[in-house]
Chain A
Amino acid sequence: MSARGQLDMAWNVLKHNRPGMAALCFLAVVLAAGLLAPLIAPYDPLAVDMKARLASCSLEHLLGTDHLGRDLFSRLVYGARTSLGLALVIMLVTVSLGSLLGLAAGTFRGLFDSVLMRLTDMLLSFPSEVLVLALVGMAGPGMENAFAACVLARWPWYARMARSITLRFRDMNYVLYARVAGFSRTRILFRHIVPGAAGELSVLATLDCASVLLTISALSFLGLGVQPPVPEWGTMLGEARNVMILHPWQMLPPGLAILLVVAAFNFLGDALRDAFDPCFDPRGTTRRKA
């Protein structure tokens, strides 16, 4: 089966996977809300109103206000832009960087391949959390540094994966045929190998989106990532923590937002895996009638 055919088939399977499609729609809605935040949010997320601080839920302020009187619903909507947007951009950069290097290593082999693989060996001997913390620690707290740390800590996975997929595909019959037919290396790479790799990479990338979102919001929560007053779900939780004794409800919206988006990414990742690998039984096993 050609690589393109595989993508079409995967989409057909995914279309009929209800939890997966629900997750996809949910993520699309959240992303749209984040992008259209100025139209949806009733207030400026940074507007301080000391007269209305720590107000409870009302028609005026749907989710109440925080310790500076900023509207929590507006901050939540703008936070979608920062949190989800940042996670998606980080994954896009990571996947492109990692898989380009991996594809190149798998295609050209030689010295470049061995140097790259030793480098990934070294980076992968740390768990990504420690590597991110170390990189942010050395470069200092801040959104740009957290961004760079996440990319640097994760690209080796994609490089290794893209490399092994390339090595697997290059001996497949249709690739050999394309080579015999005299197609150029780049054409073979982008027409026949990249689409085949896209499936496996997208499954890992979708699941990784969830963990990047968790990492970024954890860093922001601790004050190491996105800096206040920028609305981000982790930063909002960090602010809610300071008033948790008297106003515990403030912890709910940002926490639930993270939970739902992470859960949606996990659902979507599982659905994609089923779609790209129809032989894999989602229950983990096929029970034999004893």
Chain B
Amino acid sequence: MYAFILRRLLCLVPLLLAISFLAFCLTAASPSDPAEVALRVNDITPTPEVIEKTRQELGLDRPFFERYLAWLGKALQGDLGTSFVTHRPVARELARALPSTLALACVATLVVLGVGIPCAIVCFVREGRLADILVRALIFLGAATPTFWAGLLFIWLFAVHLNLLPTGGLEGASSFILPACTLALPSLATYTRLLRAGMLATGQQDFVLYARAQGRSPLAILLQIVRNSLQSTLAALGMTLPKLLAGTFVVECIFAWPGLGRLCVTAIFNRDLPVIQAYVVLMGLFFVLFNLFMEVAGALVDPRLSGRGSAGRKGKGRPDKSRPDTSMEDRA
């Protein structure tokens, strides 16, 4: 197991290098001159002399690869540059915004699990009846609703009309409810659908028939089915979490949430290139590490996977679009 983790970690090094290179290229390929941008955001008229001076300060006069290596060296030591706007270290600004974004994503994950699993169980138990049809209709609606529209409707209904919850900001536990539910909505729909399909497929396997023949109680059989299906949807859940984190930028902007996504969107409006660059690197790092974590978790649940090494998830189609694993069995 340790050898497996070590091998995967070593594979990450080139990928992380590539991500950092990509993030660096994005700024280098940006149509506007960073020196001019840095001056403009501070309301300094960019005369040729001042631009030349700023270019030297930012190190833009040096060759591309030298700049990349210098930037990478600093980034490895935790120095991601200085914001053009606030003139504070970017790393510190990100560190300040990171906890609230992670908290929001975690609460949203709990919503996905806490609502999704019971809904899937209801669908499974009452398959084809009213409850199942109702939940499936809601799933369909949830998958098609734009997040930002749902967020606005939630604000209008719960914060403005009923005056129950705060409209935005991060103050106390009640301010988590609306953003987390908004953020969870699309993933909730995807996950519930997958889990429902997984449970229906597990339900017709031989061990269930055997357990029924043994006369075991329906509840025990149901629990067994749920446990087996949760395992098979683990990978899908693993794809859900990065989507939640990536989706935070819309939700954070709607609910004035002091997190990474809003920091990045504000930076885009201000043309604050170092912050955008750092956001991209951080997100890339997070996703790569998270993929590794899910792979290890998958290998722990099913030891057969660790032997196959690099037979990862990459390029096999997106989880919400590919059909559940079970369809292969159906065809056989």
Query: B-contacting residues of A (Cβ < 8 Å)?
Result: 118, 120-127, 129-130, 133-141, 157, 160-161, 164, 204, 207-208, 210, 214, 217-218, 221-224, 234, 237, 240-241, 244-245, 248, 251, 254-255, 258-260, 262-263, 266, 273, 279-281, 283-288, 290
Known: A122-B22, A217-B146. Is A223-B269 also a contact (CB below 8 A)? yes
- The A-contacting residues of B in range 274-321, CB under 8 angstroms, are 276, 279-280, 283-284, 287-288, 291, 314-315, 317-318, 321
Known: A120-B315, A288-B204. Is A134-B152 also a contact (CB below 8 A)? no
Known: A137-B268, A287-B200. Is A130-B156 also a contact (CB below 8 A)? no
Q: Which of B149, B247, B271, B323 has the most chain A CB atoms closer than 10 A to its own CB?
A: B149
CA distance A140 to B243 in the complex (A): 23
Contact A262 B144 (CB under 8 A): yes
Min distance, Cβ B128 to any Cβ of chain A, angstroms: 9
Contact B153 A255 (CB under 8 A): yes
B interface: dominant SS: helix
Is the CB of B242 closer than 8 A to any CB of chain A?
yes
CA distance A283 to B29 in the complex (A): 47
CA distance A276 to B255 in the complex (A): 42
Task: Determine the chain A residues whose CB is within 8 A of the CB of B323 once the complex forms.
Answer: 273, 280, 284
Known: A130-B283, A285-B200. Is A280-B250 also a contact (CB below 8 A)? no
Contact A255 B152 (CB under 8 A): yes
Task: Determine the chain B residues whose CB is within 8 A of the CB of A262 once the complex forms.
Answer: 144-146
Known: A125-B15, A141-B269, A266-B140. Is A133-B249 also a contact (CB below 8 A)? yes
- Kindly list 11 other residue pairs between chains A and B, CB separation below 8 angstroms, not including A124-B314, A129-B249: A126-B280, A130-B287, A133-B268, A135-B26, A222-B250, A234-B148, A255-B149, A266-B140, A280-B330, A285-B330, A290-B212
Known: A140-B271, A141-B268, A285-B200. Is A214-B279 also a contact (CB below 8 A)? no
Task: Determine the chain B residues whose CB is within 8 A of the CB of A245 once the complex forms.
Answer: 160
Contact B326 A285 (CB under 8 A): yes
Contact B144 A222 (CB under 8 A): no
A204 to chain B: closest residue by CB:
B321
B327 to chain A: closest residue by CB:
A280
- Closest 10 pairs (CB-CB, A-B): A284-B197, A255-B149, A263-B144, A129-B246, A137-B276, A137-B268, A138-B26, A262-B144, A285-B200, A127-B246
CA distance A129 to B274 in the complex (A): 19
Is the CB of B32 closer than 8 A to any CB of chain A?
yes
CA distance A222 to B268 in the complex (A): 11
Task: Determine the chain A residues whose CB is within 8 A of the CB of B318 once the complex forms.
Answer: 157
Q: In the complex, how many residue pairs between chain A and chain B have their CB atoms under 8 Å apart?
A: 173
Question: Of the candidates A140, A141, A207, A285, which one forms a contact with B204 in the assembled complex, judged by CB atoms under 8 Å apart?
Answer: A285
B284 to chain A: closest residue by CB:
A126
Min distance, Cβ B8 to any Cβ of chain A, angstroms: 14
Task: Determine the chain A residues whose CB is within 8 A of the CB of B18 once the complex forms.
Answer: 118, 121-122, 125
Is the CB of B143 closer than 8 A to any CB of chain A?
yes
Min distance, Cβ A95 to any Cβ of chain B, angstroms: 14
Task: Determine the chain B residues whose CB is within 8 A of the CB of A126 once the complex forms.
Answer: 19, 280, 283-284, 287
- The A-contacting residues of B in range 12-43, CB under 8 angstroms, are 15, 18-19, 22-23, 26-27, 29-32
- The A-contacting residues of B in range 191-237, CB under 8 angstroms, are 196-197, 200-201, 204, 209, 212
Contact A140 B152 (CB under 8 A): no
Task: Determine the chain B residues whose CB is within 8 A of the CB of A234 once the complex forms.
Answer: 146, 148
CA distance A217 to B287 in the complex (A): 25
CA distance A285 to B204 in the complex (A): 9
Task: Determine the chain A residues whose CB is within 8 A of the CB of B26 once the complex forms.
Answer: 134-135, 138
Contact with A along B76-98 (1 / 0, CB 8 A): 00000000000000000000000
